[in-house]
Amino acid sequence: MTLAYQPARLITLINNKGMRITCMDLGATWLSCRLPTGKDLQEVLLGGARYEDYQNQSAYLGATIGRYANRIANGCYEHNGEIIKLSTNQNGNTLHGGPDGFDRKTWQIETIAEDKVIFTLTSPDGDQGFPGEVKAVATYSLRNDNSVIIDYRAYSSASTPINLSNHAYFNLNDAQNGDDSRSHYLKISASRYLPVDQEGIPISGLRNVEGTRFDFRRRRRIRNDYDHAFLLDTESDYSHSPCLSLTSAQNKLTLDLFTNKPAVQIYTGRQLAGTPNRRHGVYKAHAGIALETQFLPDTPNHSHWPQPDCFFSNDKIYQFTTCYRFSW
Length of the chain, please? 328
Residue 90 to residue 182: CA distance in whole angstroms: 25
Active-site residue, 114 included: no
Among 96, 167, 228, 286, the one annotated catalytic: 167
Residue 7: is the preceding peptide bond cis (ω within 30°)? yes
Active-site residue, 302 included: no
Residue 211 to residue 223: CA distance in whole angstroms: 16
| 3-state SS string for the chain | CCHHHCCCCEEEEECCCCCEEEEECECCEEEEEEECCCCCCEECECCCCCHHHHHHCCCCCCCEECCECCEEHHHEEEECCEEEECCCCECCEEECCCCCCHHHCECEEEEECCCEEEEEEEECCCHHHCCCCEEEEEEEEECCCCEEEEEEEEEECCCEECECEECCEECCCCCCCCCCHHHCEEEECCCEEECECCCCCECCCCEECCCCCCCCCCCEECCCCCEEEEECCCCCCCCCCCCEEEECCCCCCEEEEEECCCEEEEECCCCCCCCECCCCCECCCCCCEEEEEECCCCHHHCCCCCCCCCEEECCECEEEEEEEEEEC
Residues with Cβ within 8 Å of residue 108, at least 6 apart in sequence: 25, 119, 120, 121
Among 96, 184, 292, 302, the one annotated catalytic: 292
- Positions annotated as catalytic residues are 167, 292
